[in-house]
Amino acid sequence: TSMIAVVKDVLSDTKYGKKYEHLIELSEKYPNEKFYKLISISTTRFAGYFHDVLYAILADIKIIIESLRERSENDDDKDAKLLLKRISNIRFLALLSGMVDIYSTLGKLCGILQKVNLFIWERKQMVEKYLDNMGLMINELHSDTATRTKWCTLNKYWPLLEKKQIGEEIVALEEE
């Protein structure tokens, strides 16, 4: 299953009705953390919007997983069990984090391309900067710095992939 299909399934399962109310109730257990409103995926929006969709899921992942766990245990909800299995793993969290980082850069690039009051050489220079940054992101993943012992060096190009919070989520999943 593609990553986008899983994201769509998370949104369709948790974005409306009693399931969404349950997320809000669970979020109240964490008053120091911001709860992001989940946003539907749109095929007509730019990369910046897609970043916001993915970021909301990533920011709320702890609550989403907790909600799915409760539903699968208390209600014997088979859909919740299946979705929980698909998202409560290292691969999903790492891919989601990486996608948020990629779409953050793409969103900034799209913003530059949409600006109307730029000279062509200014636009070219700004676009080259973001394309170079994306190249560095790719190189960083293919280099020896992407090993677990040097994970912290990813911060410059992959801030969410490296972020401590994601690491804690992954460790919690590994312990279960």
Residue 92: CB atoms within 10 Å: 19
Give percent above pLDDT 90 in the chain: 4
Length of the chain: 176
Note whether 78 and 137 are within 8 A (CB).
Answer: no
Integer Cα distance of 47 and 109 in angstroms: 9
Burial environment of residue 115 by CB neighbours within 10 A (0 to 12, 13 to 18, 19 or more) = exposed
Which has more confidence, 71 or 48? 71
Model pLDDT for residues 14-41, shown as the tens digit of each residue = 888 888 888 888 888 888 888 888 877 7
Q: What is the pLDDT of residues 76-111, one digit of tens each?
A: 788 888 998 898 887 888 888 888 888 888 888 888
